[in-house]
């Protein structure tokens, strides 16, 4: 899984019907010091996360195990809102 931050939204009216009603968010993976990386992923929200919140992202086939995503063509899902990250670097 990856730590990311929600930075945007996508609207697509012409889409796979199983995506209807799903919230597509743009998230940026974060570095361990909390700064943004330059990459991004479009992930479906499954936990009601808010804008700019730090979230936990799952990728690949496991995204379809997220709540409500069975048989939905998604490869990335937000599965948690992160309260604290505790890292001890050497």
Using CB under 8 A as the criterion, which residues of the chain lie in contact with a copy of itself when the complex forms? 1-3, 7-19, 24, 26, 32, 36, 40-44, 46-49, 51, 56, 58-67, 71-77, 79-90
In angstroms, rounded to a whole number, what is the distance separating the alpha carbons of residues 75 and 42?
Answer: 9
CB of 59 to a copy of itself, least distance (A): 5
CB of 51 to a copy of itself, least distance (A): 8
Nearest residue (CB) to a copy of itself, 21 versus 84: 84
φ, ψ dihedrals at 65, nearest 5°: -90, -10
């Amino acid at each position: 899984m990856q730590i990311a931050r929600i930075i945007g939204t996508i609207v697509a009216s012409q889409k796979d019907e199983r995506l209807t009603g799903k919230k597509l968010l743009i998230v940026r993976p974060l570095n361990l010091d909390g700064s943004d990386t330059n990459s991004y992923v479009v992930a479906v929200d499954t936990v009601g996360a808010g804008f700019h919140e730090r979230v936990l992202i799952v990728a690949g086939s496991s995204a379809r195990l997220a709540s409500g995503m069975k048989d939905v063509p998604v490869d990335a899902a937000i599965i948690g809102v992160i309260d604290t990250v505790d890292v001890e670097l050497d």
